Amino acid sequence: MKFSPPSKRKFSLLAAFKSMGFLTKLCFSWLVVLVLSAIFADLIPGLDDPNYQAWLFDTTGNELRNDTPSWNHWLGTDVNGRDILARLIYGARVSLAVVASGVTCGVIFGGLFGSFVGYVRGKREAVVMASIDVILAFPGLVLLLTIITFVGARDLKVLCIIIGALSIPIYTRVARANALTVSRREFVAAAEALGTKQRTILIKEIVPNVLPTVLAYALVAAAVLVALEGALAFLGLSVESPAPSWGNMINLARADLRVTIWPAVWPSLALVFTVFSLNNVGDWIRQKAQKRAAAI
């Protein structure tokens, strides 16, 4: 087996994509399509405004709500005559914004915090971990519901701040557990023996070695966050209507289940497939990382 140190090996997205199994390729592609279409939703030609409400009847008296797929509305329309595809794509923005905020806050603050307390130990570690235990003693959704109620305003920005802040404790716990093992490695002992400053060791040795594990965890956490936002929106506590989110689309369509199921099916499929894709790609990355760690 040819050995090349990991730092010199170039990372190629194409090569990585080629080495995936068929299902993982599919999942990865779905995530790419999802992210791109959500970001560039405004530029997609012919896509309706997600809140544009058409006439409920056309000139010949046909009903235009809960419509079946047609050339104008590829996935049909919902109970208010709005284009489902457009609402799916704009709704993806909510899910992705929540994920982006949770992962960014978690990795940056949780990662640094956890690395720090895991390395310095002592009283500071005890205090931080005790307070994290208290926050994690709450069932997550219940804590989230309580905070959202009392904050009052429910727009995407507020939601992202709350979820970002609530993501920090769990990442801190993951990062700290890893920092504990990394701190015992020989290169840390060597750096300490050389008289390197604690802060330099933390930034140069601990954080870079803790980060990969935290990032691998981030994808799994992202899947949880997408499902969590879905549940929140389903309860009517995510972004306020008429702004679309997959969860509130499902909740709206629930009332008409006896008439038509399609307005509920599309957002459910989008939700399930996104969560599945994040889990699947996350598993794939973890397996890769394990193999790499074993090779070193």
Partner 1 sequence: MLAARLVRLVATLLAVSFLTFFLVNTLPGDPINALIPPDAQQDQEFVAQLREEYGLNDPFFVRYGSWLSDAVSGDLGRSVITDQLVTDEIKHRIPVTGELAIVSIGIAVLLAIPLGVTAGYRQGTKIDQSISALAQFLLSIPSFIVGLVLIYFLSIRLRWLPATGWTRLTESVTGNIKTVIMPAISLALTEIAVYTRIVRSDMINTLKETYVLSAKSKGLKDRFILFRHALRPSSLTLTTIVGLNIAGLIGGTVVIEQLFALPGLGKRLLDAIFQRDFIMVQGVTVFMACVYVVINTCVDLFYMIIDPRIRRKS
Member of 18, 184, 258, 291 binding partner 1 (CB under 8 A): 258
Kindly write out the interface string for residues 200-239 of this chain, putting x where it contacts partner 1 by CB under 8 A and - elsewhere.
-----------------------x---x--xx--xx-x--
Question: Which DSSP category does 47 fall into?
Answer: P
**Binding-site size, partner 1 (CB under 8 A):** 41
Q: Is 20 one of the binding residues for partner 1 (CB under 8 A)? A: no
Q: Is 129 one of the binding residues for partner 1 (CB under 8 A)? A: no
- Cβ atoms of residues 38 and 93 within 8 Å: yes
Q: Is 252 one of the binding residues for partner 1 (CB under 8 A)? A: no
Phi and psi angles of residue 86, each rounded to the nearest 5 degrees, phi first: -60, -40
Helices of type H across the chain:
13-18, 22-39, 84-105, 111-120, 122-136, 140-151, 156-183, 186-193, 198-201, 207-234, 246-254, 262-295
**Nearer Cβ to partner 1 (74/273):** 273
User: Considering the complex, what minimum distance in angstroms separates the CB of residue 278 from partner 1?
Assistant: 8
Q: Is 150 one of the binding residues for partner 1 (CB under 8 A)? A: yes
Helix (H, G, I), strand (E, B) or coil at 29: helix
Neighbours of 12 (CB within 10 A): 9
Contacts of 117 (CB under 8 A, 6+ apart): 124, 125, 128, 129, 172, 176, 179
**Nearer Cβ to partner 1 (108/220):** 220
Contacts of 39 (CB under 8 A, 6+ apart): none
Residues forming a β-bridge with 57:
63
**Nearer Cβ to partner 1 (201/271):** 271
**Nearer Cβ to partner 1 (29/146):** 146
Q: Is 242 one of the binding residues for partner 1 (CB under 8 A)? A: no
Cβ-in-10-Å burial (0-12, 13-18, 19+) of 79 comes to: middle
Q: How far apart are the first and last CA of the chain?
A: 12
**Nearer Cβ to partner 1 (79/231):** 231
**Nearer Cβ to partner 1 (103/275):** 275
**Candidate ranges 62-70, 114-122, 184-192, 271-279; the one touching partner 1 (CB under 8 A):** 271-279
User: Which residues contribute to the site for partner 1 (CB under 8 A)?
Assistant: 130-131, 133-135, 137-143, 145-152, 223, 227, 230-231, 234-235, 237, 250, 254, 257-258, 261, 264, 268, 271-272, 275-276, 279-280, 283
